[in-house]
Amino acid sequence: MAAPEHPRMSDVAHRAGVSLSTVSRALRGAPGVSPAVRARVERAAAELSYVVSRDASSLVTGATGRVAVIVPFLRPWFFGAALAGISPELRAAGLDMLVYEVGDAEALDGYVQALPLRRNVDAVIAVSLDLDDRETKQLDDIGVPVVYCSQRAEGRPSVFIDNVAAAAAGTRHLLNLGHRRVAYVQSRDETGFSWGSLHRRDGYLQAMAEAGAEPLVVTDRAGQRGGAAAMARLLGAPSPPTAVFAESDDVAFGALAVLRRSRVPVPEAVSLLGFDDNDVAAVLDLTTVAQPVHELGAEAARLTARLLRGTADRAEHLRLPTELVVRRSTSVPRTSPGMHLHSHTDLRGRQ
Amino acid sequence: MAAPEHPRMSDVAHRAGVSLSTVSRALRGAPGVSPAVRARVERAAAELSYVVSRDASSLVTGATGRVAVIVPFLRPWFFGAALAGISPELRAAGLDMLVYEVGDAEALDGYVQALPLRRNVDAVIAVSLDLDDRETKQLDDIGVPVVYCSQRAEGRPSVFIDNVAAAAAGTRHLLNLGHRRVAYVQSRDETGFSWGSLHRRDGYLQAMAEAGAEPLVVTDRAGQRGGAAAMARLLGAPSPPTAVFAESDDVAFGALAVLRRSRVPVPEAVSLLGFDDNDVAAVLDLTTVAQPVHELGAEAARLTARLLRGTADRAEHLRLPTELVVRRSTSVPRTSPGMHLHSHTDLRGRQ
């Protein structure tokens, strides 16, 4: 009997001469299968190069009642908001939430390799890990469904925003106000995660190219510190920008702190645009590209529950909308070119 | 044989005629105990009114390898910081982290009553739940150690700060600058959690009484919205305060937004003091009482791991220090009394 090219669980059942549910139970280590039958099923699966995850959506019995949520970090606002979206939806589906903070790409590798996920959880929600192809394939093999939250993963269940289009729209907001020297601040830290930063940069570059404007990308550390350092560099540039697009609100806050300390008026001398609409953006009157983080989490959890019930497509993609929230940190540029020409009066006015 | 007043696991073992480890395994439902022996142990435990949690530190084998972390909310900064402190310490001890967001006191009741914690986790970390006596006693009976994080629980393992002393010190900072009309903004939301707010209010009242100053407490909703609403009320008071102490940085941000919108200069007309030193306080130049949230989480997790290894006192108390971080939102008051006497020039200067 020739092995089928894309073996299914039914092929394994046929070859081993057992029922589908016996294959399912045997391969996920559930009780009620004799050692002899288990060995037969495992041999048949191995002979067919059958990968358990291929039919993970058939493993709908919720053997553990737990879902693992993997996040790179726990402290930033984004992950609290995502977990707050995930938690009640898992609860509603009768699922407990295990949370793993992997910190960097290496820890993720360790997590995927070391944890006996097959016995530990029924599914995994990967939040904003920005995994590359190799890592995504690695996750394909852990034996339970993996739902991607805040990342588009081709052929896998995922819930995401269109970072490219959202960042292009944000950049056009600045261009349409009349800015030409628009800088983009992105972070690139040691963790190996890019946080959608690169897609947003692509959107920025696209909008700048469409407008025939010269792009200026500054890369620094993540978070407020990176934003502060990047803004300091921009203030020292030969021709400072009149508008700055920060990849996240947090980066924008760091930039804003430097602008305030330097008494550079915002938005009169420099317009500042963030990304997220986090819980403090409104207080700081920051114009920003809002993404629905809570809803990204909630939708990912609902999709997970549906996958475990067998009522979702295993390649389901769900794109949620973003929205430009205009506040007082962006405006038309001065007619005079940039920060060099502030009058003393203007500066005093910002103390 | 008379039942001992405070039965220990050894009393149960003696009465049932089995070893300590058999009692431990029988009472937590671990495998390897015959039904007959299990029934005998359970009968002995019942006759002695033995409560499993009394000797929870003996259940050191880590039957599930999981710890439940219960938080009222996931979204606020505080809980992300606490979880970020807890997570790596549990990981280092080989423990997985289940996270439960209980949202309000009723959900906590449901959680405690409904979840079969004995089989689900080895221990519980209760983060900033501000439980009352009844709730604390309820948690005593769930059969596994409960560690209190950011709450002092008498006779139970807990890691906390001294909210009373910290708030008194913050209030004295304002009084010593020369303020007399110092208001305290506390939140009291529908959730039933008080967030340490009441202890901080007590510290404020204590310092005000010591200084012979008239206290002014305003209560409103939680978070930025509550801070904004409270500040609006204070601006409309017969004699507005020259200094405002907000129970948290988040509440202070709401107050700050209203002050900025009203063009009331901070700190010239109103000094503003927060509590937390959260991740945005520095950007907003907010003077605040800093508490070590990450360390509270880390210490609670380490204490949990030690309890499970049997190397911690089950009533261990760990008080972590707070620190006043003086930034630019507090200063000596104007010589003129408060906000009524701003010159037009002053107001323009803040646009």
pLDDT of residue B30: 58
Q: What is the mean pLDDT of residues B18-25?
A: 78
Q: Which residue has the higher pLDDT, B170 or B336?
A: B170
Domain range summary for chain B, segments of one domain joined by +:
9-61, 66-161+293-321, 163-291+325-348
CATH topology of B66-161+293-321 equal to that of B163-291+325-348?
yes
Is residue B158 within 8 A of residue B318, CB to CB? The reply is: yes
Q: Are B151 and B160 in contact (CB under 8 A)?
A: yes
Q: Which residues of B touch A294 (CB under 8 A)?
A: 75
Distance from CA of A233 to the nearest CA of B (A): 18
State the nearest Cα–Cα gap between B286 and chain A, in angstroms: 12
Does B283 contact A224 at a Cβ distance shorter than 8 Å? yes
Find the mean pLDDT for residues B235-241. Answer: 93
pLDDT number for residue A39: 79
Average pLDDT over residues B314-328: 95
Q: Rounded mean pLDDT of B213-236?
A: 94
Q: Which residues of chain B neighbour A253 with C-beta distances below 8 Å?
A: 280, 283
ipTM of the complex: 0.76
With an 8 Å Cβ cutoff, are A80 and B74 in contact?
yes
Q: What pTM value is reported for the model?
A: 0.77
Query: Which burial class, exposed, middle or buried, applies to A99 when counting CB atoms under 10 A from its CB (0-12, 13-18, 19+)?
Result: buried
Contact: A75, B84; criterion CB under 8 Å: yes
Residues of chain A neighbouring B100 (CB-CB closer than 8 A): 87, 96-97
List the single residue in B with minimal CA-CA distance to A72. B84
- Give the residue, B338 or A290, on which the prediction is more confident: A290
Q: pLDDT tens digits, residue range B139-188?
A: 887 778 999 999 999 899 999 999 999 999 999 999 999 999 999 999 87
- Exposed/middle/buried for residue A280 (C-beta within 10 Å: 0-12, 13-18, 19+): buried
Mutation for B interface: A73, A99, A120, A277, most B CBs within 10 A: A99
- Cβ–Cβ of A98/B101 closer than 8 Å? no
Res B24 pLDDT > 80 = no
Residue, of B35 and B58, whose pLDDT is higher: B35
Cross-chain residue pair A74–B66, CB shorter than 8 Å: no
pLDDT at B35 exceeding the cut of 80: no
What is the structure's pLDDT at A195?
Answer: 59
- Average pLDDT in the B71-99 region? 93
Distance of residue A53 Cα from the nearest chain B Cα, in angstroms: 23
For A39-69, the pLDDT digits (tens) are 788 778 767 766 554 334 333 444 788 999 9
Average pLDDT, chain B: 84
> CA distances (Å), B27 to each of B43, B129, B267, in order?
11, 28, 60
Please name the member of B88, B97, B101 whose beta carbon is closest to the beta carbon of A98: B97
Question: Residue A314 is encoded by which pair of tokens?
Answer: 């295993």
Structure tokens at A225: 């510190």
Within chain A, which residues score under 50 in pLDDT? 1, 53-62, 116-118, 336, 338-351
What angle in degrees, to the nearest 10, is found between the helix axes of A20-27 and A9-16?
100
Interchain proximity A101–B88, CB inside 8 Å: yes
Q: Is the pLDDT of residue B343 over 50?
A: no
Closest residue by Cα to residue B67 from B152, B154, B196, B157: B157
The residues on A that touch B, with CB distances below 8 Å, are 66, 73-77, 79-81, 83-84, 87-88, 96-101, 103, 120, 224, 250, 253-254, 256-257, 260, 279-280, 282-285, 294, 348-349, 351
* Percentage of chain B exceeding pLDDT 90: 53
DSSP string, A248-295: SHHHHHHHHHHHHHTT--TTTT-EEEEEE--TTTTTTT-EEEE--HHH
Task: Provide the mean pLDDT of chain A.
Answer: 84
Q: What does the DSSP assignment read for B209-224?
A: HHTTPPPEEEEE-SHH
Interface probe with A: pick from B71, B87, B128, most Cβ of A within 10 Å: B87
Q: How far is B108 from chain A (nearest CA, A)?
A: 13
| Predicted pLDDT at B116 | 44
| Number of residues assigned to chain B | 351
Pairing of strands A243-246, A182-187: parallel
Residues of chain B in Cβ contact (below 8 Å) with chain A: 66, 73-77, 79-81, 83-84, 87-88, 96-101, 103, 120, 224, 250, 253-254, 256-257, 260, 279-280, 282-285, 294, 348-349, 351
pLDDT over 60 (residue B114): no
Beta bridge partners of residue A97, listed in sequence order: A67
Return the residue matching tokens 């809002």: A290
Asked, as a colleague might, if the bond just before B267 is cis with ω within 30 of 0, I would say: yes
Cis check: omega of the bond before B7, within 30 degrees of 0: no
Query: How big is the A-B interface in CB pairs under 8 Å?
Result: 97
Q: How far apart are the CA of A103 and the nearest CA of chain B, in angstroms?
A: 10
Percentage with pLDDT > 70 across chain B: 82
Torsion of CA A42, A48, A52, A58, to 10 degrees: -100
| Cβ contacts of B103 on chain A, cutoff 8 Å | 88
Query: Is the pLDDT confidence value at B218 over 80?
Result: yes
Q: Which CATH architecture best describes the domain B66-161+293-321?
A: 3-Layer(aba) Sandwich (3.40)
pLDDT at A346: 39
Three state DSSP letters for A122-154: CEEEEECCCCCHHHHHHHHCCCCCEEEECCCCC
**Domain spanning B163-291+325-348, CATH class:** alpha beta
Cβ B80 vs Cβ B106: under 8 Å? no
Task: Convert the pLDDT of each residue in A86-131 to its tens digit.
Answer: 999 999 998 999 999 987 767 777 777 655 444 678 999 999 987 8
pLDDT computed for residue A323 by the predictor: 98
Q: Which homologous superfamily does the CATH classification assign to the domain defined by B9-61?
A: lambda repressor-like DNA-binding domains (1.10.260.40)
